[in-house]
């Protein structure tokens, strides 16, 4: 039955048919008496287990990760699949739950017999699932942007080849901030691990670029009113670097605007906090004219490459980065490109390894580690990437965008080298 959905001569298979059909195969495979793959193994699908945040706190991201995955799988299959074999995706929901994440990896590996596991976003789920992937010796490709992979704290089976990590992102924007926003920076960040990444990585990078952090204001995670913190911002601050997240972000921006009126320091923020949120929402007016980090631009740019245009069309987002059929459904554009690019890395590594089945998983790990760079193009529409096989992490360009006229316009692309740091690990020394 799976063949029906992967008739590569039939271009009519919809995005949904592809993912759903594949998942059904997974279900039936577990049914008694079901004979897997009537075809020879050479034409049997490559089974990719998709650890998806379909419910729980990550569901808004999960929806777009699923859509991007479906679009990439459709494109790869239409072009002949991997080594001539179509990709079959098996979705399992992890509820954005660390403990369930580990269960899902085990279920995908042992029950659904997938070749690899892919697609995890939230750090807690990645950290919770990685040991299971290591124990079961199944390659685990995450799209998380956390520094956990590059830090060396996970294991040899975990890769992050399609999205840069937060340390590289923070480090690479510092030179632009020092040159354009000012020399005296005040940081406002939530008082927990995510905020600490910025607190710890930004000051040295700024110092290297000739600027300094004059104040670090940590806001408790449960705070919903911020005015009382603003008097702590030194009066000689040139720019505020803000990385607030959660539902109170809009309140934070509104109160900051009320505090400064029409004047005030320049603002630099990370789009993470406003992913999937209309940038023109009431309350965000004060952000006009400010700058943001973006992994991949939400808005279509005048100088978009053909590859970028084709990617945006494939994932069905309009020029404002919202769903083509639903203008209010704003995408998670800054992150979801990572799913597209990761699937193409998996394809490349499987082809390099001559991957045939689970017995070749070790070869697949080595083939992935042997990759060094990915050229910008249809497979990597966000831009060129450099891959460090020792720390299993890619490095790439970052976008700095200015919010003007209700749209984010890219004003600077960082160099890949701007985000590079001294590797702290070498996974290749671990046994397979």
Please, which of residues 350-409 interact with another protein by CB under 8 A?
Answer: none
Nearer to another protein, 333 or 371 (CB): 333
Q: Which of residues 209-238 bind another protein (CB under 8 A)?
A: 220-222, 224
Q: Which of residues 62-91 bind another protein (CB under 8 A)?
A: 63, 66, 90-91
Q: Which of 8, 110, 192, 236 binds another protein (CB under 8 A)?
A: 192
Report the length, in residues, of the chain: 432
Residue 106 in contact with another protein, rule: CB under 8 A:
no
Q: CB 31 → another protein: shortest distance, Å?
A: 5
Strand partners, 91: 50
Q: Which of 35, 40, 302, 325 binds another protein (CB under 8 A)?
A: 325
Q: CB 144 → another protein: shortest distance, Å?
A: 7
Q: CB 353 → another protein: shortest distance, Å?
A: 27
Strand partners, 240: 186, 267
Residue 278 in contact with another protein, rule: CB under 8 A:
yes
How many CA atoms does the CB half-sphere of 160 hold within 13 Å?
30
**Interatomic CA distance for residues 197 and 14, integer angstroms:** 41
Q: Which of 6, 141, 157, 194 binds another protein (CB under 8 A)?
A: 194
* 269 three-state secondary structure: strand
Handedness of CA 320, 379, 16, 274 (dihedral sign): negative
- Chain centroid offset of residue 172 CA: 17
Residue 205 in contact with another protein, rule: CB under 8 A:
no
**Interatomic CA distance for residues 67 and 16, integer angstroms:** 9
Q: CB 98 → another protein: shortest distance, Å?
A: 4
- φ and ψ at 117, to 5 degrees? -115, 145
Give the helix/strand (H/E) hosting 126.
Answer: helix 123-136
Applying CB under 8 A, the site for another protein has a residue count of 95
Nearer to another protein, 112 or 355 (CB): 112
Q: Which of residues 121-150 bind another protein (CB under 8 A)?
A: 121-125, 127-128, 144-148
**Three-state secondary structure readout of 393-426:** EEEECCEEEEEECCEEEEEEECCHHHHCCCCCCC
Residue 329 in contact with another protein, rule: CB under 8 A:
yes
Q: CB 168 → another protein: shortest distance, Å?
A: 11
Q: Which residues, 6+ apart, have CB-to-CB distance to 60 below 8 Å? A: 276, 332
Count CB atoms within 10 A of the CB of residue 330.
Answer: 22
Q: Which of the ranges 50-58, 202-210, 301-309, 388-396 carries the binding residues for another protein, by CB under 8 A?
A: 50-58
Q: Which of 3, 246, 354, 357 binds another protein (CB under 8 A)?
A: 246
Residue 155 in contact with another protein, rule: CB under 8 A:
no
Q: Which of the ranges 299-307, 324-332, 353-361, 424-432 carries the binding residues for another protein, by CB under 8 A?
A: 324-332
Q: Which of residues 10-49 bind another protein (CB under 8 A)?
A: 14, 16-17, 19-21, 23-24, 26-28, 30-31
Q: Which of 138, 166, 174, 400 binds another protein (CB under 8 A)?
A: 166
Q: CB 236 → another protein: shortest distance, Å?
A: 28
Helical residues (DSSP H) of 179-248, grouped into ranges: 193-208
The DSSP secondary-structure symbol of 97 reads -
- Chain centroid offset of residue 293 CA: 14
| Structural contact between residues 390 and 426, judged by C-beta atoms closer than 8 angstroms | yes
Q: Which of 275, 369, 379, 418 binds another protein (CB under 8 A)?
A: 275
Residue 323 in contact with another protein, rule: CB under 8 A:
yes
Nearer to another protein, 51 or 308 (CB): 51
Residue 151 in contact with another protein, rule: CB under 8 A:
yes
Q: CB 243 → another protein: shortest distance, Å?
A: 6
Please, is 11 exposed, middle or buried when counting C-beta atoms within 10 Å of its C-beta (0-12, 13-18, 19+)?
A: exposed
**Residue 258 Cα distances to 187, 222, 236, 252, 263, angstroms:** 19, 21, 19, 10, 10
Find, among 177, 219, 179, the residue nearest to 196 by Cα.
219
């Amino acid at each position: 039955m799976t063949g029906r959905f992967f008739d590569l001569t039939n271009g009519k298979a919809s995005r949904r048919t592809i993912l759903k059909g594949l998942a059904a195969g997974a279900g039936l495979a577990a049914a008694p008496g079901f004979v897997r793959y009537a075809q020879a193994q050479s034409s049997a699908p490559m089974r990719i287990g998709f650890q998806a945040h379909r419910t729980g706190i990550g569901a808004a991201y999960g929806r777009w990760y699923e859509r991007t995955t479906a679009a990439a799988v459709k494109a790869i299959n239409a072009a002949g699949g991997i080594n001539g074999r179509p990709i079959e995706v098996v979705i399992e929901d992890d509820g954005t739950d660390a403990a369930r994440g580990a269960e899902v990896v085990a279920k995908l590996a042992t029950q659904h017999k997938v070749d690899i596991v892919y697609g995890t976003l939230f750090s807690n789920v990645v950290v919770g699932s990685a040991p299971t992937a290591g124990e079961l010796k199944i390659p685990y490709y995450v799209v998380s942007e956390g520094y956990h992979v590059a830090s060396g704290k996970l294991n040899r089976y975990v890769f992050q080849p399609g999205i840069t990590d937060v340390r590289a992102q923070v480090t690479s924007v510092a030179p632009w901030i020092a040159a354009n926003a000012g020399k005296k920076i005040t940081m406002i960040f939530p008082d927990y691990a995510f905020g600490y990444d910025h607190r710890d990585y930004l000051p040295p990078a700024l110092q290297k670029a000739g600027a300094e952090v004059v104040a670090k204001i940590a806001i408790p995670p449960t705070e919903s009113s911020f005015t009382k913190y603003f008097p702590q911002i030194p009066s000689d601050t040139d720019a505020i670097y803000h990385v607030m997240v959660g539902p109170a972000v809009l309140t934070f921006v509104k109160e900051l605007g009320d505090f400064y009126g029409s004047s005030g320091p320049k603002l630099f923020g990370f789009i993470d906090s406003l992913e999937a949120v209309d940038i023109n929402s009431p309350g965000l007016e004060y952000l006009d004219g400010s700058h943001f980090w973006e992994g991949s631009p939400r808005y279509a740019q005048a100088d978009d490459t053909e590859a970028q245009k084709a990617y945006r069309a494939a994932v069905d987002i309009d020029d404002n980065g919202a769903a083509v059929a639903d203008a209010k459904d704003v995408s998670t554009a800054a992150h979801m490109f990572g799913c597209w690019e990761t699937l193409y890395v998996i394809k490349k590594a499987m082809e390099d390894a001559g991957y045939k089945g689970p017995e070749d998983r070790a070869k697949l790990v080595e083939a992935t580690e042997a990759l060094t760079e990915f050229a910008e193009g249809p497979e990597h529409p966000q831009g060129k990437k450099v891959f460090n096989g020792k720390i299993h992490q890619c490095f790439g360009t970052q976008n700095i965008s200015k919010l003007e006229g209700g749209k984010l316009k890219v004003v600077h692309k960082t160099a890949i080298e701007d985000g590079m740091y001294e590797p702290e690990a070498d996974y290749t020394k671990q046994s397979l």
